[in-house]
Structure 1
Amino acid sequence: WIGVDCGSADHPMNTIIRTWHPGRFQECDAKMKKVYGKSFDEIFPLKKYYQVMHLKLFPKGIVHAENLAGDIAKLGSTRAWIGCFPLRGIELESSMCRIVAWLPPKTKKPARKKAAKK
C-alpha cells in the first residue's frame, strides 16, 4: 500500500473535481495543449484513467491511505514499519485510520579493541 499527504493519489482532473470545478479543468486543458500540444483527455483518456488509483489498483490488493499529514515529511526515505489502524465498522468503503511509523532501533557500533601496548 502507499500513503499520500493529499486528498487522493489520483490526478485531480481524473476525479469528480473536474466536474465540480470546470473552470480549473479548462485551465488545465489549455496548459496541456500549450505545453504538450494535446488535450488532457488525449493524454489521459477518462475511460482509462478515471480514479485509476481506486478502480485499477484496489482490485489487485494495492490500497492507499489519503490525507496523511503531521510528521510524514520527517520520514523522507527512511525505512520504517508502518501500521494502519482503521476505525471499526460494518461494510465500510473507507474509514478514518490512525497511521503510525516505528523506526528501527539505533544500533551502537561495536567498540574497537585497542592494540595492546608492548
Structure 2
Amino acid sequence: YIIVDCGSADHPMNTKIRDWEPVEAKACDEYMKKRYGKGLNELYPWPEAYQAMHLMLFPQPWEIIHVECAGGEVDKVLNKRLIIGTFPWKFQYGESAFCRVVAFDEED
C-alpha cells in the first residue's frame, strides 16, 4: 500500500513527461550518465519499462493498492504510525476512483 502526493509513483522520466519534455529528458539523460554511469534508456528502457509501477507492480499477482495525488494535511501526519482508511467513490466496473484518505492517529 503506497500513497504519494504526486501524479505517479514512477520516476517522472518514466512517464509521458519524457515525451512531452524532450529537452528535460535529454538533460536528465546527461545527468544520469554523469552521476550514475548509465543513461535514461538503460535505467528505464523505453517503452518496455514505461510506467513500471502501474504496469508491473499494481496488476496481478501483486495488486499493490496505491493512491496518487494525495493532498490536504499530509504534513500533519509525517513520520507517524497511523491506521489509514481509503474510501473510494463507488462505481461499477471501474478500475480506479476518486477517494478520501483518512489517517486515524491512535496516539491523540
Short-chain TM bin: 0.7 to 0.9
- Matched residue type, 1:11: H
CA contact (8 A) 1:57 1:63 kept: no
Partner in structure 1 of residue 31 of structure 2: 31
CA RMSD of aligned residues (A): 1.6
Deviating above 4 A after TM superposition, structure 1's stretches of 4 or more consecutive aligned residues are: none
**Unmatched segments (≥5 aa) in structure 1:** 107-118
Once residues 48 and 63 of structure 1 are traced to their aligned partners in structure 2, the CA distance between those partners, rounded to angstroms, is: 22
TM-score (norm. length: structure 1): 0.80
Of residues 65, 68, 71, the one that matches 2:67 is 65
Percentage of identical aligned residues: 47
Q: Find the structure with the greater CA-based Rg.
A: 1
Which has the higher mean CA deviation after the structures are superposed, 6-15 or 49-58?
49-58
TM-score (norm. length: structure 2): 0.86
For residue 47 of structure 1, report the CA deviation from its aligned partner: 5.0
Once residues 55 and 5 of structure 2 are traced to their aligned partners in structure 1, the CA distance between those partners, rounded to angstroms, is: 20
**Unmatched segments (≥5 aa) in structure 2:** none
For residue 80 of structure 1, report the CA deviation from its aligned partner: 1.1
